[in-house]
Amino acid sequence: MKKGQLYINGQFREGADKQHLEVINPYDLEPIGSQSVAEGSDVRQAVSCAAESFKRWKKQSAYERGALLRKLYDLVLENEERLAKMITLEQGKPLSEAIGEVRYAASYLSWYAEEGIRIKGDILEPTHKTMRMQVIKQPVGPVGIITPWNFPLAMFVRKMAPALAAGCTVIIKPAEQTPLTAYEFFRLVDEAGFPDGVCQLVTGDPVEIGKIFMEAESLRKISFTGSTEVGKLLMAQSAETVKKVSLELGGHAPLIVFADADLDKAVQGTIDSKFRNCGQVCIATNRVLVEKSILPAYQEKLLEKVASLKAGSGFEENDMGPVIDRQGYEKISEHVDDALNRGANLLFGGQGYRQKDNQGGYLFQPTVLGNISEDMKIMQEETFGPVVPITAFETEEEALRIANQTPFGLASYFYTENISRAIRVSEGLEFGMVGINTGRISSAQAPFGGVKASGFGREGGYYGIEEYLHTKYIGTGI
Protein backbone atom coordinates (compact mmCIF):
# COMPACT_ATOMS: atom_id res chain seq x y z
CA MET A 1 0.00 0.00 0.00
CA LYS A 2 1.41 3.36 -0.99
CA LYS A 3 1.48 6.05 1.73
CA GLY A 4 1.69 9.57 0.38
CA GLN A 5 2.68 12.59 2.44
CA LEU A 6 2.50 16.35 2.30
CA TYR A 7 5.58 18.26 1.13
CA ILE A 8 6.03 21.51 3.03
CA ASN A 9 9.18 23.62 3.29
CA GLY A 10 11.32 20.90 1.70
CA GLN A 11 10.11 18.14 4.08
CA PHE A 12 7.79 15.18 3.55
CA ARG A 13 5.50 14.87 6.52
CA GLU A 14 2.07 14.02 7.89
CA GLY A 15 -0.60 16.61 8.56
CA ALA A 16 -0.92 18.09 12.06
CA ASP A 17 -3.80 15.71 12.96
CA LYS A 18 -2.15 12.65 11.38
CA GLN A 19 -5.29 12.03 9.29
CA HIS A 20 -5.18 10.05 6.03
CA LEU A 21 -7.39 9.90 3.00
CA GLU A 22 -7.94 6.48 1.45
CA VAL A 23 -7.17 6.27 -2.27
CA ILE A 24 -9.02 3.67 -4.33
CA ASN A 25 -8.51 2.08 -7.72
CA PRO A 26 -11.50 3.13 -9.87
CA TYR A 27 -11.31 -0.15 -11.81
CA ASP A 28 -11.98 -2.56 -8.94
CA LEU A 29 -12.73 -0.11 -6.08
CA GLU A 30 -9.98 -1.74 -3.99
CA PRO A 31 -7.86 0.54 -1.77
CA ILE A 32 -4.38 1.20 -3.16
CA GLY A 33 -2.99 3.44 -0.44
CA SER A 34 -3.54 6.60 1.50
CA GLN A 35 -2.50 10.22 1.44
CA SER A 36 -1.83 12.51 4.43
CA VAL A 37 -4.44 15.17 4.96
CA ALA A 38 -3.34 18.76 5.64
CA GLU A 39 -5.05 20.64 8.46
CA GLY A 40 -5.55 24.40 8.30
CA SER A 41 -2.30 24.96 10.21
CA ASP A 42 -0.35 22.88 7.64
CA VAL A 43 -1.80 24.86 4.74
CA ARG A 44 -1.03 28.18 6.46
CA GLN A 45 2.52 27.03 7.06
CA ALA A 46 2.86 26.14 3.36
CA VAL A 47 1.57 29.61 2.45
CA SER A 48 4.06 31.40 4.70
CA CYS A 49 6.96 29.20 3.46
CA ALA A 50 5.98 29.98 -0.14
CA ALA A 51 6.11 33.71 0.68
CA GLU A 52 9.47 33.38 2.46
CA SER A 53 11.11 31.32 -0.29
CA PHE A 54 9.75 33.66 -2.98
CA LYS A 55 12.06 36.40 -1.67
CA ARG A 56 15.07 34.29 -2.70
CA TRP A 57 13.71 32.30 -5.68
CA LYS A 58 12.77 35.44 -7.63
CA LYS A 59 16.38 36.62 -7.32
CA GLN A 60 17.87 33.49 -8.83
CA SER A 61 18.73 33.90 -12.47
CA ALA A 62 16.39 32.41 -15.06
CA TYR A 63 19.33 30.17 -16.06
CA GLU A 64 19.56 28.73 -12.53
CA ARG A 65 15.81 28.17 -12.38
CA GLY A 66 15.88 26.63 -15.87
CA ALA A 67 18.65 24.21 -14.85
CA LEU A 68 16.49 22.86 -12.00
CA LEU A 69 13.49 22.50 -14.30
CA ARG A 70 15.68 20.63 -16.78
CA LYS A 71 16.90 18.33 -13.98
CA LEU A 72 13.30 17.64 -12.99
CA TYR A 73 12.45 16.93 -16.65
CA ASP A 74 15.24 14.32 -16.81
CA LEU A 75 14.08 12.71 -13.55
CA VAL A 76 10.47 12.54 -14.76
CA LEU A 77 11.52 10.75 -17.95
CA GLU A 78 13.81 8.38 -16.04
CA ASN A 79 10.84 7.53 -13.81
CA GLU A 80 8.10 7.59 -16.44
CA GLU A 81 7.02 4.01 -15.90
CA ARG A 82 6.65 4.41 -12.13
CA LEU A 83 4.65 7.63 -12.56
CA ALA A 84 2.50 6.15 -15.34
CA LYS A 85 1.66 3.06 -13.28
CA MET A 86 0.50 5.27 -10.43
CA ILE A 87 -1.69 7.30 -12.84
CA THR A 88 -3.32 4.11 -14.15
CA LEU A 89 -3.74 2.74 -10.64
CA GLU A 90 -5.53 5.74 -9.17
CA GLN A 91 -7.16 7.25 -12.26
CA GLY A 92 -7.80 4.18 -14.44
CA LYS A 93 -6.64 5.24 -17.92
CA PRO A 94 -4.77 2.66 -20.08
CA LEU A 95 -1.07 2.49 -19.25
CA SER A 96 -0.07 3.60 -22.78
CA GLU A 97 -2.14 6.77 -22.28
CA ALA A 98 -0.62 7.27 -18.83
CA ILE A 99 2.88 7.12 -20.37
CA GLY A 100 1.66 9.66 -22.92
CA GLU A 101 0.50 11.90 -20.05
CA VAL A 102 3.88 11.68 -18.29
CA ARG A 103 5.72 12.64 -21.52
CA TYR A 104 3.23 15.43 -22.19
CA ALA A 105 3.72 16.79 -18.64
CA ALA A 106 7.51 16.52 -19.03
CA SER A 107 7.37 18.51 -22.28
CA TYR A 108 6.16 21.56 -20.26
CA LEU A 109 9.14 21.23 -17.90
CA SER A 110 11.51 21.19 -20.85
CA TRP A 111 9.73 24.02 -22.68
CA TYR A 112 9.71 26.34 -19.66
CA ALA A 113 13.28 25.44 -18.66
CA GLU A 114 14.09 27.36 -21.83
CA GLU A 115 11.26 29.88 -21.97
CA GLY A 116 12.28 31.46 -18.63
CA ILE A 117 15.44 32.88 -20.18
CA ARG A 118 13.42 34.59 -22.91
CA ILE A 119 11.41 36.84 -20.58
CA LYS A 120 12.03 40.37 -21.76
CA GLY A 121 10.88 43.96 -21.34
CA ASP A 122 10.96 47.13 -23.44
CA ILE A 123 12.75 50.46 -23.69
CA LEU A 124 10.25 53.11 -24.83
CA GLU A 125 11.01 56.27 -26.73
CA PRO A 126 10.63 58.99 -24.04
CA THR A 127 8.36 62.04 -24.33
CA HIS A 128 11.14 64.38 -23.14
CA LYS A 129 14.91 64.32 -23.60
CA THR A 130 15.27 64.38 -19.83
CA MET A 131 13.41 61.13 -19.33
CA ARG A 132 14.12 57.42 -19.84
CA MET A 133 11.27 54.88 -19.99
CA GLN A 134 11.66 51.21 -19.28
CA VAL A 135 9.23 48.27 -18.97
CA ILE A 136 10.25 45.15 -17.07
CA LYS A 137 8.52 41.85 -16.24
CA GLN A 138 8.53 40.46 -12.71
CA PRO A 139 7.09 37.30 -11.13
CA VAL A 140 3.62 37.86 -9.66
CA GLY A 141 4.49 36.13 -6.37
CA PRO A 142 3.59 32.84 -4.66
CA VAL A 143 0.92 30.86 -6.55
CA GLY A 144 -1.80 28.44 -5.38
CA ILE A 145 -2.54 25.68 -7.91
CA ILE A 146 -5.73 23.56 -7.72
CA THR A 147 -6.28 20.73 -10.22
CA PRO A 148 -8.72 17.88 -11.08
CA TRP A 149 -8.30 14.09 -11.34
CA ASN A 150 -8.57 13.48 -15.08
CA PHE A 151 -4.88 14.19 -15.76
CA PRO A 152 -3.35 13.64 -12.30
CA LEU A 153 0.12 14.80 -13.38
CA ALA A 154 -0.19 16.98 -16.47
CA MET A 155 -2.79 19.38 -15.04
CA PHE A 156 -0.50 20.77 -12.34
CA VAL A 157 2.82 20.44 -14.18
CA ARG A 158 1.37 22.58 -16.98
CA LYS A 159 0.92 25.34 -14.39
CA MET A 160 3.91 24.88 -12.10
CA ALA A 161 6.53 24.79 -14.90
CA PRO A 162 5.82 28.33 -16.20
CA ALA A 163 5.27 29.63 -12.65
CA LEU A 164 8.67 28.37 -11.46
CA ALA A 165 10.39 29.57 -14.64
CA ALA A 166 8.94 33.05 -14.09
CA GLY A 167 10.31 33.14 -10.52
CA CYS A 168 7.12 32.31 -8.59
CA THR A 169 6.90 29.72 -5.81
CA VAL A 170 4.00 27.22 -5.90
CA ILE A 171 1.68 25.27 -3.60
CA ILE A 172 -0.15 22.45 -5.35
CA LYS A 173 -3.47 20.97 -4.26
CA PRO A 174 -4.33 17.96 -6.46
CA ALA A 175 -7.72 16.21 -6.57
CA GLU A 176 -8.72 13.91 -3.72
CA GLN A 177 -9.11 10.92 -6.09
CA THR A 178 -5.53 11.19 -7.43
CA PRO A 179 -3.10 12.55 -4.81
CA LEU A 180 -0.53 9.73 -5.02
CA THR A 181 0.70 10.65 -8.51
CA ALA A 182 1.41 14.12 -7.12
CA TYR A 183 3.23 12.57 -4.15
CA GLU A 184 5.36 10.39 -6.50
CA PHE A 185 6.17 13.47 -8.56
CA PHE A 186 7.17 15.42 -5.47
CA ARG A 187 9.73 12.74 -4.60
CA LEU A 188 11.40 13.78 -7.86
CA VAL A 189 11.01 17.48 -7.02
CA ASP A 190 12.86 16.73 -3.77
CA GLU A 191 15.57 14.79 -5.61
CA ALA A 192 16.02 17.60 -8.15
CA GLY A 193 17.04 19.88 -5.27
CA PHE A 194 14.67 22.84 -5.47
CA PRO A 195 15.23 25.19 -2.49
CA ASP A 196 12.92 24.62 0.49
CA GLY A 197 9.48 26.17 0.13
CA VAL A 198 9.68 26.71 -3.65
CA CYS A 199 7.42 23.76 -4.53
CA GLN A 200 4.94 22.42 -1.97
CA LEU A 201 2.17 19.82 -1.91
CA VAL A 202 -0.96 19.95 0.24
CA THR A 203 -3.95 17.62 0.11
CA GLY A 204 -7.15 17.68 2.14
CA ASP A 205 -10.51 19.41 2.47
CA PRO A 206 -10.89 21.39 -0.78
CA VAL A 207 -13.20 24.00 0.72
CA GLU A 208 -10.84 24.78 3.60
CA ILE A 209 -7.69 24.76 1.46
CA GLY A 210 -9.42 26.90 -1.17
CA LYS A 211 -10.52 29.39 1.47
CA ILE A 212 -7.03 29.65 3.02
CA PHE A 213 -5.50 30.15 -0.43
CA MET A 214 -8.03 32.82 -1.36
CA GLU A 215 -7.75 34.71 1.93
CA ALA A 216 -3.94 34.74 2.00
CA GLU A 217 -2.69 38.21 1.04
CA SER A 218 0.72 36.76 0.21
CA LEU A 219 -0.58 34.34 -2.45
CA ARG A 220 -0.79 36.63 -5.46
CA LYS A 221 -2.22 34.22 -8.00
CA ILE A 222 -4.52 31.21 -8.17
CA SER A 223 -4.43 28.90 -11.16
CA PHE A 224 -7.38 26.54 -11.21
CA THR A 225 -8.46 23.73 -13.52
CA GLY A 226 -11.78 22.06 -12.83
CA SER A 227 -15.51 22.57 -13.01
CA THR A 228 -17.09 25.87 -14.00
CA GLU A 229 -19.05 25.84 -10.73
CA VAL A 230 -15.93 25.80 -8.50
CA GLY A 231 -14.14 28.19 -10.86
CA LYS A 232 -16.89 30.80 -10.40
CA LEU A 233 -16.70 30.39 -6.63
CA LEU A 234 -12.92 30.93 -6.59
CA MET A 235 -13.26 33.94 -8.86
CA ALA A 236 -15.76 35.50 -6.45
CA GLN A 237 -13.49 34.70 -3.46
CA SER A 238 -10.47 36.24 -5.21
CA ALA A 239 -12.08 39.69 -5.07
CA GLU A 240 -11.27 40.11 -1.37
CA THR A 241 -7.50 40.08 -1.89
CA VAL A 242 -7.65 41.20 -5.55
CA LYS A 243 -5.69 38.17 -6.73
CA LYS A 244 -4.75 37.35 -10.28
CA VAL A 245 -6.73 34.26 -11.36
CA SER A 246 -6.54 31.81 -14.27
CA LEU A 247 -9.46 29.47 -14.80
CA GLU A 248 -9.37 26.39 -17.06
CA LEU A 249 -12.96 25.17 -16.82
CA GLY A 250 -15.37 22.79 -18.49
CA GLY A 251 -15.78 22.34 -22.23
CA HIS A 252 -18.45 21.16 -24.67
CA ALA A 253 -16.51 20.70 -27.91
CA PRO A 254 -18.26 20.42 -31.26
CA LEU A 255 -16.73 18.38 -34.08
CA ILE A 256 -18.11 19.38 -37.48
CA VAL A 257 -17.76 17.15 -40.54
CA PHE A 258 -18.44 18.99 -43.82
CA ALA A 259 -19.34 17.10 -46.99
CA ASP A 260 -15.98 18.08 -48.51
CA ALA A 261 -14.02 16.43 -45.65
CA ASP A 262 -11.67 13.49 -45.90
CA LEU A 263 -14.03 11.03 -44.19
CA ASP A 264 -11.35 8.65 -42.94
CA LYS A 265 -9.53 11.54 -41.25
CA ALA A 266 -12.79 12.80 -39.75
CA VAL A 267 -13.63 9.38 -38.32
CA GLN A 268 -10.14 8.97 -36.87
CA GLY A 269 -10.35 12.48 -35.40
CA THR A 270 -13.67 11.60 -33.76
CA ILE A 271 -12.10 8.51 -32.17
CA ASP A 272 -9.00 10.46 -31.04
CA SER A 273 -10.90 13.36 -29.57
CA LYS A 274 -13.72 11.35 -27.98
CA PHE A 275 -12.47 8.10 -26.47
CA ARG A 276 -9.11 9.13 -24.97
CA ASN A 277 -9.29 8.80 -21.18
CA CYS A 278 -12.80 7.32 -21.60
CA GLY A 279 -14.05 10.73 -22.77
CA GLN A 280 -13.09 12.34 -19.45
CA VAL A 281 -11.21 15.18 -21.10
CA CYS A 282 -12.18 18.84 -21.07
CA ILE A 283 -11.36 19.15 -24.80
CA ALA A 284 -13.14 15.89 -25.70
CA THR A 285 -15.61 16.11 -28.57
CA ASN A 286 -19.05 16.31 -26.98
CA ARG A 287 -21.21 16.96 -30.05
CA VAL A 288 -20.70 15.66 -33.60
CA LEU A 289 -22.32 17.70 -36.39
CA VAL A 290 -22.33 16.00 -39.81
CA GLU A 291 -23.48 17.47 -43.14
CA LYS A 292 -26.66 15.61 -44.10
CA SER A 293 -25.46 14.33 -47.49
CA ILE A 294 -22.58 12.33 -45.96
CA LEU A 295 -24.27 11.25 -42.72
CA PRO A 296 -24.80 7.56 -43.68
CA ALA A 297 -21.21 7.18 -44.95
CA TYR A 298 -19.74 8.85 -41.84
CA GLN A 299 -21.83 6.76 -39.47
CA GLU A 300 -20.94 3.51 -41.22
CA LYS A 301 -17.20 4.20 -41.03
CA LEU A 302 -17.41 5.43 -37.42
CA LEU A 303 -19.38 2.40 -36.21
CA GLU A 304 -16.84 0.07 -37.80
CA LYS A 305 -14.06 1.67 -35.71
CA VAL A 306 -16.07 2.04 -32.50
CA ALA A 307 -17.00 -1.67 -32.59
CA SER A 308 -13.33 -2.55 -32.09
CA LEU A 309 -12.87 -0.43 -28.92
CA LYS A 310 -12.68 -2.26 -25.61
CA ALA A 311 -13.19 -0.98 -22.06
CA GLY A 312 -11.52 -2.66 -19.09
CA SER A 313 -8.47 -2.56 -16.84
CA GLY A 314 -5.88 0.05 -17.75
CA PHE A 315 -3.20 -2.58 -17.11
CA GLU A 316 -4.55 -4.87 -19.85
CA GLU A 317 -4.90 -4.40 -23.61
CA ASN A 318 -7.88 -2.05 -23.54
CA ASP A 319 -8.70 1.23 -25.27
CA MET A 320 -10.53 2.72 -22.30
CA GLY A 321 -10.37 2.34 -18.55
CA PRO A 322 -13.17 2.84 -16.01
CA VAL A 323 -15.18 5.99 -15.40
CA ILE A 324 -13.69 7.75 -12.34
CA ASP A 325 -16.60 7.19 -9.94
CA ARG A 326 -20.30 6.56 -9.49
CA GLN A 327 -21.19 10.23 -9.92
CA GLY A 328 -19.41 10.38 -13.28
CA TYR A 329 -21.07 7.14 -14.36
CA GLU A 330 -24.51 8.40 -13.41
CA LYS A 331 -24.07 11.60 -15.42
CA ILE A 332 -23.15 9.62 -18.54
CA SER A 333 -26.13 7.26 -18.06
CA GLU A 334 -28.43 10.24 -17.52
CA HIS A 335 -27.29 11.87 -20.78
CA VAL A 336 -27.79 8.64 -22.75
CA ASP A 337 -31.21 7.93 -21.20
CA ASP A 338 -32.39 11.51 -21.72
CA ALA A 339 -31.36 11.40 -25.39
CA LEU A 340 -33.07 8.02 -25.97
CA ASN A 341 -36.25 9.21 -24.22
CA ARG A 342 -36.33 12.25 -26.49
CA GLY A 343 -36.05 10.26 -29.72
CA ALA A 344 -32.34 9.53 -30.29
CA ASN A 345 -31.38 6.27 -32.03
CA LEU A 346 -28.98 3.94 -30.27
CA LEU A 347 -26.41 3.09 -32.96
CA PHE A 348 -23.89 1.36 -30.69
CA GLY A 349 -23.31 0.53 -27.01
CA GLY A 350 -25.42 2.47 -24.54
CA GLN A 351 -24.73 0.28 -21.53
CA GLY A 352 -22.77 0.92 -18.39
CA TYR A 353 -21.75 -1.98 -16.18
CA ARG A 354 -19.72 -2.81 -13.09
CA GLN A 355 -16.69 -4.96 -12.52
CA LYS A 356 -16.53 -7.93 -10.20
CA ASP A 357 -20.06 -9.27 -9.71
CA ASN A 358 -21.61 -5.87 -9.66
CA GLN A 359 -19.34 -4.58 -6.90
CA GLY A 360 -16.31 -3.16 -8.69
CA GLY A 361 -15.68 0.04 -10.62
CA TYR A 362 -17.86 1.52 -13.34
CA LEU A 363 -17.24 0.90 -17.03
CA PHE A 364 -19.20 2.32 -19.92
CA GLN A 365 -19.39 0.87 -23.43
CA PRO A 366 -18.26 3.11 -26.25
CA THR A 367 -21.59 4.55 -27.35
CA VAL A 368 -22.90 6.20 -30.51
CA LEU A 369 -26.26 7.97 -30.68
CA GLY A 370 -27.96 9.19 -33.87
CA ASN A 371 -30.88 11.51 -34.56
CA ILE A 372 -29.76 13.92 -31.83
CA SER A 373 -31.67 17.19 -31.38
CA GLU A 374 -30.66 20.43 -29.68
CA ASP A 375 -33.10 20.06 -26.75
CA MET A 376 -31.28 17.00 -25.39
CA LYS A 377 -29.05 17.33 -22.29
CA ILE A 378 -26.12 15.87 -24.17
CA MET A 379 -26.24 18.86 -26.54
CA GLN A 380 -26.18 21.31 -23.65
CA GLU A 381 -23.78 19.93 -21.01
CA GLU A 382 -20.37 18.30 -20.86
CA THR A 383 -20.89 14.49 -20.67
CA PHE A 384 -17.33 13.51 -19.62
CA GLY A 385 -17.83 9.99 -20.96
CA PRO A 386 -17.42 7.79 -24.08
CA VAL A 387 -20.58 8.86 -25.91
CA VAL A 388 -20.74 10.26 -29.47
CA PRO A 389 -24.03 12.09 -30.16
CA ILE A 390 -24.50 12.79 -33.87
CA THR A 391 -26.72 15.48 -35.35
CA ALA A 392 -27.16 16.49 -39.00
CA PHE A 393 -26.92 19.99 -40.55
CA GLU A 394 -27.49 21.37 -44.04
CA THR A 395 -25.48 24.59 -44.33
CA GLU A 396 -22.25 26.06 -42.99
CA GLU A 397 -24.24 28.79 -41.21
CA GLU A 398 -26.40 26.22 -39.47
CA ALA A 399 -23.32 24.22 -38.37
CA LEU A 400 -21.72 27.33 -36.89
CA ARG A 401 -24.94 28.34 -35.15
CA ILE A 402 -25.33 24.92 -33.48
CA ALA A 403 -21.62 24.73 -32.57
CA ASN A 404 -21.65 28.17 -30.92
CA GLN A 405 -24.99 27.57 -29.17
CA THR A 406 -23.36 26.94 -25.77
CA PRO A 407 -22.07 28.98 -22.84
CA PHE A 408 -18.79 27.00 -23.11
CA GLY A 409 -15.90 27.85 -25.40
CA LEU A 410 -12.86 25.62 -24.86
CA ALA A 411 -12.02 23.38 -27.87
CA SER A 412 -13.67 22.82 -31.24
CA TYR A 413 -12.85 20.70 -34.28
CA PHE A 414 -13.90 20.56 -37.92
CA TYR A 415 -13.08 18.67 -41.07
CA THR A 416 -13.00 20.16 -44.56
CA GLU A 417 -10.68 20.10 -47.58
CA ASN A 418 -11.82 23.58 -48.67
CA ILE A 419 -9.28 26.26 -47.73
CA SER A 420 -11.73 29.19 -47.79
CA ARG A 421 -14.16 27.32 -45.58
CA ALA A 422 -11.33 26.36 -43.23
CA ILE A 423 -10.53 30.05 -42.70
CA ARG A 424 -14.19 31.16 -42.42
CA VAL A 425 -15.18 28.46 -39.95
CA SER A 426 -12.06 28.70 -37.76
CA GLU A 427 -12.70 32.44 -37.43
CA GLY A 428 -16.42 31.90 -36.78
CA LEU A 429 -16.10 29.32 -33.98
CA GLU A 430 -16.38 30.99 -30.56
CA PHE A 431 -13.81 28.80 -28.82
CA GLY A 432 -10.31 29.26 -27.42
CA MET A 433 -8.92 26.42 -29.55
CA VAL A 434 -9.76 25.09 -33.01
CA GLY A 435 -8.52 21.87 -34.60
CA ILE A 436 -8.81 21.73 -38.41
CA ASN A 437 -8.60 18.17 -39.78
CA THR A 438 -7.16 16.89 -36.49
CA GLY A 439 -8.54 15.70 -33.16
CA ARG A 440 -5.27 16.24 -31.26
CA ILE A 441 -4.30 19.84 -30.65
CA SER A 442 -2.64 20.23 -27.26
CA SER A 443 1.12 20.71 -26.93
CA ALA A 444 3.65 22.63 -24.83
CA GLN A 445 4.27 25.47 -27.28
CA ALA A 446 0.58 26.24 -28.02
CA PRO A 447 -1.79 28.37 -25.90
CA PHE A 448 -4.33 26.11 -24.16
CA GLY A 449 -7.41 27.76 -22.73
CA GLY A 450 -10.99 28.82 -23.26
CA VAL A 451 -13.44 31.71 -23.58
CA LYS A 452 -16.88 32.33 -22.03
CA ALA A 453 -17.80 29.81 -19.28
CA SER A 454 -14.70 27.76 -20.11
CA GLY A 455 -12.60 30.37 -18.31
CA PHE A 456 -9.65 32.61 -19.10
CA GLY A 457 -5.89 32.45 -19.04
CA ARG A 458 -3.61 30.37 -21.25
CA GLU A 459 -1.24 27.49 -20.58
CA GLY A 460 1.67 26.69 -22.90
CA GLY A 461 4.15 28.63 -25.00
CA TYR A 462 5.17 32.19 -24.17
CA TYR A 463 1.48 32.92 -23.52
CA GLY A 464 1.65 30.56 -20.51
CA ILE A 465 4.54 32.32 -18.79
CA GLU A 466 2.84 35.72 -19.15
CA GLU A 467 0.20 34.47 -16.70
CA TYR A 468 2.84 34.44 -13.94
CA LEU A 469 4.42 37.83 -14.70
CA HIS A 470 3.35 41.37 -14.15
CA THR A 471 4.44 44.40 -16.08
CA LYS A 472 6.29 47.19 -14.33
CA TYR A 473 6.94 50.59 -15.90
CA ILE A 474 9.99 52.52 -14.69
CA GLY A 475 10.22 56.20 -15.68
CA THR A 476 13.57 57.82 -14.93
CA GLY A 477 14.38 61.53 -15.00
CA ILE A 478 18.00 62.22 -15.96
Pick from 356, 351, 394: nearest CA to 369: 351
The C-alpha atoms of residue 356 and residue 28 are separated, in whole angstroms, by 7
Residue 148 as a binder of ligand NAP (CB under 6 A): the answer is: yes
Looking only at residues 20 through 79 of this chain, which bind ligand NAP when binding is defined by CB under 6 A? none
Q: With both helix axes pointing from N to C terminus, report the angle between 80-91 and 62-78 in degrees, rounded to the nearest 10.
A: 70
Pair 145, 159: CB distance under 8 Å = yes
Residue 273 as a binder of ligand NAP (CB under 6 A): the answer is: no
Least separation in angstroms between residue 260's CB and ligand NAP is 31
Per residue, the 3-state secondary structure of 170-202, as one string, reads EEEECCCCCHHHHHHHHHHHHHHCCCCCCEEEC
Q: Which of 206, 312, 428, 447 binds ligand NAP (CB under 6 A)?
A: 206
Residue 212 as a binder of ligand NAP (CB under 6 A): the answer is: no
Least separation in angstroms between residue 379's CB and ligand NAP is 16
The reply to whether 81 belongs to the active site is no
- Cα of 376 vs its chain's centroid, Å: 26
Site string for ligand NAP, 108-137 (x = CB under 6 A): ------------------------------
The C-alpha atoms of residue 151 and residue 407 are separated, in whole angstroms, by 24
Q: Which of 39, 80, 319, 382 binds ligand NAP (CB under 6 A)?
A: 382
Q: Which is nearer to ligand NAP, 54 or 151 (CB)?
A: 151
Q: Which is nearer to ligand NAP, 94 or 231 (CB)?
A: 231
Q: Which span (68-76, 173-181, 263-271, 423-431) binds ligand NAP, by CB under 6 A?
A: 173-181
3-class DSSP state for residue 354? strand
Residue 175 as a binder of ligand NAP (CB under 6 A): the answer is: yes
Q: Which is nearer to ligand NAP, 218 or 471 (CB)?
A: 218
Least separation in angstroms between residue 430's CB and ligand NAP is 16
Residue 279 as a binder of ligand NAP (CB under 6 A): the answer is: no
Residue 460 as a binder of ligand NAP (CB under 6 A): the answer is: no
When CB distances to ligand NAP are compared, the closest residue is: 210
Query: CA distances (Å), 66 to each of 107, 190, 199, 302, 469, in order?
Result: 13, 16, 14, 45, 16
Looking only at residues 221 through 260 of this chain, which bind ligand NAP when binding is defined by CB under 6 A? 225-227, 230, 233-234, 248-251
Least separation in angstroms between residue 150's CB and ligand NAP is 5
Residue 282 as a binder of ligand NAP (CB under 6 A): the answer is: yes
Q: Which is nearer to ligand NAP, 88 or 225 (CB)?
A: 225
Least separation in angstroms between residue 336's CB and ligand NAP is 18
Q: Which span (47-55, 131-139, 171-179, 305-313) binds ligand NAP, by CB under 6 A?
A: 171-179
Least separation in angstroms between residue 352's CB and ligand NAP is 18
Q: Which of 210, 385, 386, 461 binds ligand NAP (CB under 6 A)?
A: 210
371 Rama class: left (phi>0) / alpha (psi -120 to 50) / beta: left
Burial of 74 (0-12, 13-18, 19+ CB in 10 A): middle
- Binning the chain into helix, strand and coil, the percentages to the nearest 5 are 40, 25, 35
DSSP calls for 368-431: EEES--TTSGGGTS---SSEEEEEEESSHHHHHHHHH-SSEESEEEEE-S-HHHHHHHHHH--S
Q: Which secondary-structure segment (H or E) carries 22?
A: strand 20-24
Q: How many residues interact with ligand NAP (rule CB under 6 A)?
A: 26
Of 49, 199, 278, 282, the catalytic one is 282
The C-alpha atoms of residue 28 and residue 358 are separated, in whole angstroms, by 10
Q: Which is nearer to ligand NAP, 163 or 234 (CB)?
A: 234
The reply to whether 49 belongs to the active site is no
Least separation in angstroms between residue 324's CB and ligand NAP is 8
The C-alpha atoms of residue 84 and residue 100 are separated, in whole angstroms, by 8
The C-alpha atoms of residue 176 and residue 86 are separated, in whole angstroms, by 14
Q: Which span (41-49, 191-199, 220-228, 416-424) binds ligand NAP, by CB under 6 A?
A: 220-228
Per residue, the 3-state secondary structure of 216-272, as one string, reads CCCCCEEEEECCHHHHHHHHHHHCCCCCEEEEECCCCEEEEECCCCCHHHHHHHHHH
Looking only at residues 332 through 371 of this chain, which bind ligand NAP when binding is defined by CB under 6 A? none
Of 248, 291, 459, 467, the catalytic one is 248
Q: Which is nearer to ligand NAP, 150 or 365 (CB)?
A: 150
Catalytic center residues? 248, 282
Sites of contact with ligand NAP (CB under 6 A): 146-150, 155, 173, 175-176, 206-207, 210, 225-227, 230, 233-234, 248-251, 282, 382, 410, 450
